[in-house]
Structure 1
Amino acid sequence: MADERQYAGKTVLITGGSRGLGKEMAHGFAAQGARVVVVSRNEDVCVEVANELSDRHGVEALGIGCHIGRWDALDGLVDQLDARSLGVDVLINNAGMSPLYDGLANVSEALWDKTFAVNLRAPFRLSALLGERMVTRGGGSIVNISSIGSIRPGPEMAPYVAAKAGLNVLTEVFAQSLGPTVRVNTIMAGAFRTDVSAHWDPAEVDRVTAQTALQRTGAPSEIVGAALFLAGETASFTSGAILRVDGGRA
């Protein structure tokens, strides 16, 4: 009997897919029949998550370790996919980092460069490499995970929000460059309760929730529907869009 799930026969690659929002989306796509490629720095953890996806959802899944902040590592990742004859149908540029610092004058060149490498340079390079292959293969979809901080910036995450604002711009650049064959969209995520949120200042959480229409932070599962929509055929006339999933942040 044919698998009639929405993403049956599709390959979905998720960076930062071993934890947090990335892992939640990995389960969401696997539940819909996708072959999922989980990518993050720790290959052992990626393999563990891939095995979990296979066991729970009955799909093929692959875990690959890759330091996406390194340009040559991204080339190597795509070479691995090519060697396995794995054509990626959906790319989710989810991996990110938002290091803290003590004052703007104390932001080092290394911190700035590292933050941009992961949050902006990596999505650019992967979208360029895999997007061209999608065009050649006749179709595909790219979904970037940005942040509400890109339009509601606070003083404590300048490199991060600047990089995410750049990602918003790249979304439109790639939508135009890869269209009409490949669609490119962005989810602008608000405050979600992941492992990262455990380190948030409680006073900052209170401030953010007070400025949010739904008066709360999001559960990781609440990003899945938006990702499935933008990556799939029900969004066939949606490209270059930025969808806010932030609880109505003012």
Structure 2
Amino acid sequence: MSLTDKVVLVTGGSRGLGREMVLAFAAAGADVVIAGRKLDGCVALADEVKNAHGRRALPIACNVSEWDQCDALVEAAYAEFGRVDVLVNNAGMSLLYPSLDQVTEAMFDKVVGVNLKGPFRLSALVATRMAAGAGGSIVNISSIEAARPEPLAVPYAAAKAGLNALTAGLAQTYGPKVRVNTIQCGPFETDIAKAWPDELRAALTDHNAMGRVGRPDEIVGAALYFATEASSFCTGATLALDGGWR
């Protein structure tokens, strides 16, 4: 599953699952564009990529919920590398709320903006160029909430369900030169997990066949599969990476 001399753009790339994917792509031979809201984290990871793997790495500050920032991110990536071979829409977020009637319009718009609007805009821009050139792959990072919404994550679940639908639509729109697939993640031991209360952690581990949450590095195999020619006949698919969620 080689990515030698390919260019991979990862949103939410400086931490958590994004960080693991960036390092794996670089180890597989790719140059990387690391996009995140905080530039410092992106710069630090870019330096790590260069030192550990000798690959080029471009750090860019970007809030993907902002249309203009998505446009600027794509322009910067193409200005630096001339192309994008793989786009990973990994940036995501949810907000806590006491009840659904207490969700404000700003909260709702923020969740939908990061999880759905941003991936739509980035995918449309990048896939159009991919289809006009040598093709490429888009990987969307979704959540089990899209299929099994919890009461405290309804807007997030709706946005991720939209992302799953976006995968199917993009695959049809930009095929055959552009493949678009989804990794639908269960709970992973990322930095957000540090805030989990004991009862939530227990519930999460009790609800899957593996009896534990995922390690961040366990997304790497699926990400490399979809990013490379190993998945050359796979598009419009959603892969459950959830430890056998029940």
- The TM-score normalised by the length of structure 2 is 0.98
Spell out, residue by residue over 1:68-107, the C-alpha distance to the aligned partner (whole angstroms, 9 max, x if none). Answer: 1100111111222233343000000000001111111111
Aligned to 1:81: 77
Candidates 121, 124, 131, aligned match of 2:120 = 124
Conserved in 1, the CA contact under 8 Å of 2:7 and 2:81? no
Give ranges in structure 2 of 5+ residues lacking alignment: none
Amino acid at match of 1:141: S
SS in 2 for 1:186: strand
Identity over aligned pairs, percent: 52
Shift of 1:150: 0.7
Q: Give every structure 1 segment of 4 or more consecutive aligned residues whose post-TM-superposition deviation is greater than 3 Å.
A: none
CA-based RMSD of the aligned residues comes to: 1.0
d(CA) in 2 for partners of 1:79, 1:141: 18
Q: Structure 1 residue 216 and structure 2 residue 212: aligned?
A: yes
Give ranges in structure 1 of 5+ residues lacking alignment: none
Q: Structure 1 residue 199 and structure 2 residue 195: aligned?
A: yes
Q: Structure 1 residue 231 and structure 2 residue 227: aligned?
A: yes
Shift of 1:201: 2.6
Conserved in 1, the CA contact under 8 Å of 2:140 and 2:182? yes
Aligned to 1:98: 94
Conserved in 1, the CA contact under 8 Å of 2:33 and 2:77? no
Shift of 1:189: 0.4
Shift of 1:23: 0.2
Shift of 1:115: 0.3
d(CA) in 1 for partners of 2:16, 2:229: 25
d(CA) in 2 for partners of 1:80, 1:35: 14
d(CA) in 2 for partners of 1:215, 1:67: 35
SS in 2 for 1:84: helix
d(CA) in 2 for partners of 1:168, 1:86: 29
d(CA) in 2 for partners of 1:73, 1:239: 27
- The TM-score normalised by the length of structure 1 is 0.96
Aligned to 2:4: 8
Conserved in 1, the CA contact under 8 Å of 2:9 and 2:33? yes
d(CA) in 2 for partners of 1:90, 1:169: 19
Shift of 1:138: 2.0
Amino acid at match of 1:189: C
Amino acid at match of 1:153: P
Shift of 1:163: 0.3
Aligned to 2:57: 61
> Which moved further from structure 2: 118-127 or 199-208?
199-208
Spell out, residue by residue over 1:11-64, the C-alpha distance to the aligned partner (whole angstroms, 9 max, x if none). Answer: 000000000000010011111010011000112221111110111111111111
SS in 2 for 1:188: strand
Candidates 68, 72, 75, aligned match of 1:72 = 68
Shift of 1:208: 1.9
Spell out, residue by residue over 1:176-204, the C-alpha distance to the aligned partner (whole angstroms, 9 max, x if none). Answer: 00000000000000000000111123212
Q: How many residues align?
A: 246
Q: Structure 1 residue 29 and structure 2 residue 25: aligned?
A: yes
